[in-house]
Amino acid sequence: MLGLFMEGFGRFLEGRGLEFRVDRFALFQNIYRPGESDHLPIEDGRGHFDDFFRYGCGDMEPAPGAVDALRGLSQRASIVIFTNAPGPARLARARWLGRHRMDYPLVLNTGPKGPLAAVMAAQVHGPAVFIDDLISNLDSVADHAPSVIRFQMVADKRLQRLAPTAPDRHARIDDWAELRAAIEAAIA
């Protein structure tokens, strides 16, 4: 959502002689050896994912409008970057965020985000907002912290048509300027 992860990950995989085909909203099932019709085994994909966060995540562009939206929101709210990324990626991720003027507190997580989101939301006075591209993370937050306002955001245009959505449970806004306005209205 903050970075164009899929583009950066795709370039990283190309550097390893692999193809990244955005055929479905399933990260590891989009990685192929050139010319093959079956994706790499899921565990191999996970290994490349971990390596990307160790060695290649600096090669991502920010999502259009993300930097400005967060800067504007930071005038009215505290921003925390809450991401599922491997632990060894902390330093590389923090450097990338700082280089792109998004050096807000960084919290790394693995697995469902609801339990930790509930802990964080309990520490603030006033409304809390959670943004994610995955319905499973949004649902987890809804289950563990139902008072948290949730938005689905899919920054990569190729994934927008493929991403599952649940408009009855989570508002979906795929443009950072529009999302910023919706968040400002929700926390006013």
Q: Are residues 39 and 127 in the same domain?
A: no
Domains in the chain, number = 2
* pLDDT value for 120: 96
The tens digit of pLDDT for each residue in 79-109 reads: 999 998 878 788 888 999 999 999 999 999 9
Residues of the chain with pLDDT under 70: none
* Domain match, 146 and 181 both: yes
- Do 42 and 93 fall into the same domain? no
Are 75 and 154 part of one and the same domain? yes
Which residue type is seen at 137?
A: N
Question: pLDDT at position 153, please?
Answer: 98
Residue-number span of the structural domain to which 146 is assigned: 66-187
Question: Are 112 and 42 part of one and the same domain?
Answer: no
The answer to whether residue 123 sits within a structural domain is: yes
Q: Are 149 and 117 in contact (CB under 8 A)?
A: no
Domain-located, residue 147: yes
Give pTM, 2 decimals: 0.92
Q: Alpha carbon of 120 to those of 20, 43, 80, 82: distances in Å?
A: 35, 31, 9, 10
The answer on 74 and 45 residing in a single domain is no
User: Is residue 133 located within the same domain as residue 165?
Assistant: yes
Q: How far is CA 47 from CA 94, 130, 147, in A?
A: 21, 28, 36
